[in-house]
Amino acid sequence: MTFLEGHLLAEAYWQQQARQVRPMAMLLQAYWNVHRDTDQRRDPFTLEDMLAVLGYPEPPPPPPPPPNLEAMQERIGILHSLYTANGERKAD
């Protein structure tokens, strides 16, 4: 097993565990929000707060949006200028 495969398996395992813990986190969130002291904490507890209490970190940020056509053409132009900077084309 390669390092990448092990990492992907571990990520899949932790995501599965977080999905299984989510119903408990929702119950915990409802319980804590019903019994919270509004003088000390004005904002209600979120699901992410409860997942952190249960030992699961925040979910990863969403992936960036795909580049548009102009951004892709700009990247291709930069790569082309780098590839042909000295006037010689190097082929492997």
For the entire predicted model, the pTM comes to 0.47
Rg (CA), the chain: 24
Say whether pLDDT at 48 is over 70.
yes
- Predicted local distance difference test score (pLDDT) of residue 10: 85
pLDDT attached to residue 31: 94
Section 52-79 average pLDDT: 81
Region 14-29: mean pLDDT is 82
In the chain, pLDDT over 70 holds for what percent of residues?
A: 85
Burial 27-54 (b: 16+ CB within 10 A, else e): ebbeeebeeeeeeeeeeebeeebbbeee
The two three-digit tokens of residue 9, written as one number: 């398996």
